[in-house]
């Protein structure tokens, strides 16, 4: 018998850290949850009722866990935020309150005034121009064969970096929200449009967040779309599993409704899946694993779409940990988006260069089907572009130029790196409007796309 030769050395114990999920009743270290038992904490209605929405509620929840100066900072941050604040007890309990400024979950949901940066001068409120591609309220038709259906404007939590901060959640001191399709009559108008367009084969149901749809509306929307012969694929999109996984465990009717649409779709030869949104490995606990196992057992395929966020997942090691941990719980990493150019959260964005380097590192660390594609959803309505597929990238001035020949041919779409990540000389140039125009025109010229008047930014 020949001796087995080990070409590669054995994996070190640290490489299996992605399997070490947080266990036990970890929420009890939070003063407001100290007496909360497992059955109560896993109740999705309790989670919704006790979500933190104001600085006063935050203080009443964590009490002395965080220093007073942080609470004061957060109070000012709440007032300045373009998004309303709503954070589930689950998410609150996962934050490291000994170091809240650096915590990846806190950074996503709780604003603080001291870290805010000025918005990029080229930022617009609806940076992806979704309203320009909206034929009826609550429907975005940008790609030839796909439409985005937005049947509600509420979420179980509100992400600071939300692309649809122009419409999602209640009005704030800084933003009056645009109305989406919130009534069954408006839903019917969207269905009618889809039915009249035989090229539409793929429908994303988002919002808002489909976690907030009642079971009867999951079935109503799902069946209405399945009844349209040319609709072949549907995706229900939700942040919920990342910040309130217990809903899947304890809201049996919601899970049954989703499973019924998946099952009916399969019988019709149509693909119905769940898309979710984990951004950090810290969001995944034993509760998440239980919830994802329930989805898996019901035959519900789950894909994940992350956002690349500074201080959350913008290092190769953090992103690899997230990707590996997602694979461990049967969630397939699908996309990692460049952080959209969203009002009031400039300190969360990072650079195109950072994204390309992280993608190089992550690819090859696990199976290809569990390796996400890093994309830039091109401002101006160009759609998703592979992040490294730019026509030209001016690293010095932070300008990436993309083309979208199958979406809007002949146009240039620009993504801008955060100015504070540029050199001092480049930062000085962005202060001068005339120099801004010169830098942009030069980047488009070098990209070779065409007439500079076709630039969308």
- 328-376 pLDDT tens trace: 999 999 999 999 988 889 999 999 999 999 999 999 989 888 999 999 9
How much is the pLDDT for 172? Answer: 45
Alpha helices in 117-210 (DSSP H): 184-195
**Domain coordinates of the chain in residue numbers?**
14-115, 131-396
DSSP 385-445: EETT--SEEETTTTEEEEE-TTTSTT-EEEEE--GGGS-HHHHHHHTSHHHHHHHHHHHHH
d(CA 456, CA 296): 42
Residues 428 and 439: their CA atoms lie apart, in Å, by 12
Tens of each residue's pLDDT in the chain, 457 residues: 567 777 778 888 888 999 999 999 999 999 999 999 999 999 999 999 999 999 899 999 998 899 999 999 999 998 888 778 899 999 999 999 999 999 999 999 999 999 999 999 988 766 555 667 788 888 999 888 999 999 988 888 888 888 755 545 444 444 443 455 567 888 999 999 999 999 999 999 998 899 999 999 999 999 999 999 999 999 999 999 999 999 999 999 999 999 999 999 999 999 999 999 999 999 999 999 999 999 999 999 999 999 999 999 999 999 999 999 999 999 999 999 999 988 889 999 999 999 999 999 999 989 888 999 999 998 888 889 999 999 999 999 999 999 999 888 889 999 999 999 999 999 999 999 999 999 999 999 999 986 544 444 4
State the DSSP code for 119: P
Can you tell me the distance from the alpha carbon of 91 to that of 75, in angstroms, rounded to the nearest whole number?
Answer: 18
| Residue found by looking up tokens 């300008």 in the block | 399
User: Which residue in this structure is represented by tokens 């101006």?
Assistant: 380
Name the CATH code of domain 131-396 (choices 3.40.50.300, 3.40.640.10, 3.10.20.10, 3.20.20.70). Answer: 3.20.20.70
CA-nearest of 251, 157, 135, 259 to 208 is 157
- Predicted confidence at residue 190, as pLDDT, reads 93
Cβ-based neighbours of 9, under 8 Å, separated by 6 or more: none
Nearest 10 degrees: Cα torsion 27, 32, 35, 40:
-70
Longest dimension (CA), the chain: 77
3 state SS for 332-368: EEEEEEECCCCCCCHHHCCCHHHHHHHHHHHCCCCCH
pLDDT of residue 8: 76
Q: Tell which residue, 409, 414, 349, 323, has the closest CA to residue 144.
A: 409
Separation in Å, CA 201 to CA 195, 227, 233, 266, 301: 10, 12, 6, 15, 19
Rounded distance, CA 5 to CA 141, Å? 56
Judge residue 429's burial from the number of C-beta atoms within 10 Å of its C-beta, 0-12 exposed, 13-18 middle, 19 or more buried: middle
Q: What is the pTM of this model?
A: 0.92
Which phi and psi angles does 387 have, rounded to 5°?
Answer: -60, -30
**What is the pairing mode between strands 233-237 and 202-205?**
parallel
Q: What's the pLDDT at 164?
A: 57
The helix or strand, by DSSP H or E, that contains position 290, with its residue range, turns out to be: helix 286-297
How many Å apart are CA 317 and CA 129, to the nearest integer?
33
DSSP 219: H
Q: What is the sign, positive or negative, of the torsion defined by CA atoms of 408, 209, 114, 176?
A: positive
> pLDDT tens digit string along 375-409?
999 888 888 999 999 999 999 999 999 999 988 88
Answer for the pair 95, 65: CB distance below 8 angstroms, yes or no. no
How many angstroms separate the CA atoms of 106 and 165, rounded? 18
């Amino acid at each position: 018998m020949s001796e087995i030769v080990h070409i590669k050395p054995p994996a070190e114990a640290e490489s299996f850290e992605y399997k070490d999920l947080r266990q036990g009743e970890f929420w009890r270290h939070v003063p407001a949850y100290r007496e909360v038992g497992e059955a109560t904490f896993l109740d999705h209605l309790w989670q919704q009722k006790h979500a933190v929405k104001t600085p006063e509620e935050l203080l009443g929840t964590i009490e002395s866990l965080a220093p007073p100066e942080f609470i004061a900072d957060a109070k000012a941050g709440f007032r300045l935020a373009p998004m309303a604040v709503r954070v589930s007890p689950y998410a609150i309990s996962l934050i490291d309150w000994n170091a809240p400024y650096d915590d990846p979950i806190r950074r996503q949901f709780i604003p603080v005034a001291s870290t805010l940066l000025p918005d990029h001068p080229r930022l617009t409120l609806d940076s992806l121009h979704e309203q320009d591609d909206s034929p009826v309220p609550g429907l975005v038709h940008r790609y030839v064969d796909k439409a985005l259906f937005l049947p509600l404007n509420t979420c179980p939590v509100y992400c600071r970096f939300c692309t649809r901060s122009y419409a999602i959640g209640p009005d704030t001191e800084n933003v009056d929200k645009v109305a989406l399709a919130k009534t069954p009559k408006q839903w019917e108008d969207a269905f009618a449009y889809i039915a009249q367009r035989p090229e539409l084969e793929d429908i994303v149901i988002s919002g808002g967040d489909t976690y907030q749809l009642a079971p009867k509306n999951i079935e109503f929307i799902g069946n209405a779309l399945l009844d349209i012969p040319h609709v072949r694929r549907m995706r229900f999109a939700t942040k919920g599993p990342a910040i309130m996984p217990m809903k899947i465990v304890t809201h049996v009717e919601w899970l049954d409704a989703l499973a019924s649409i998946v099952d009916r779709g399969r019988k019709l030869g149509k693909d119905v899946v769940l898309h979710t949104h984990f951004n950090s490995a810290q969001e995944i606990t034993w509760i998440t694993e239980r919830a994802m196992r329930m989805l898996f057992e019901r035959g519900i395929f789950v894909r994940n779409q992350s956002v690349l966020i500074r201080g959350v997942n913008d290092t190769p090691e953090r992103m690899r940990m997230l990707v590996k941990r997602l694979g461990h719980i049967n969630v397939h990493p699908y996309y990692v988006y460049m952080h959209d150019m969203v009002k009031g959260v400039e300190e969360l964005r990072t650079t195109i260069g950072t994204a390309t380097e992280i993608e190089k590192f992550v690819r090859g660390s696990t199976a290809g089907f569990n390796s996400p594609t890093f994309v830039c959803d091109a401002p101006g309505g160009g759609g998703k572009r592979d992040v490294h597929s730019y026509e030209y990238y001016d690293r010095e001035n932070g300008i990436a130029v993309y083309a979208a020949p199958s979406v809007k041919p002949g146009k240039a779409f620009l993504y801008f790196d955060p100015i504070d990540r540029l050199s001092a000389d480049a930062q000085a140039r962005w202060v001068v409007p005339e120099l801004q125009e010169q830098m942009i025109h030069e980047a488009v010229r070098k990209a070779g796309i065409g007439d500079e008047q076709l630039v969308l930014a």
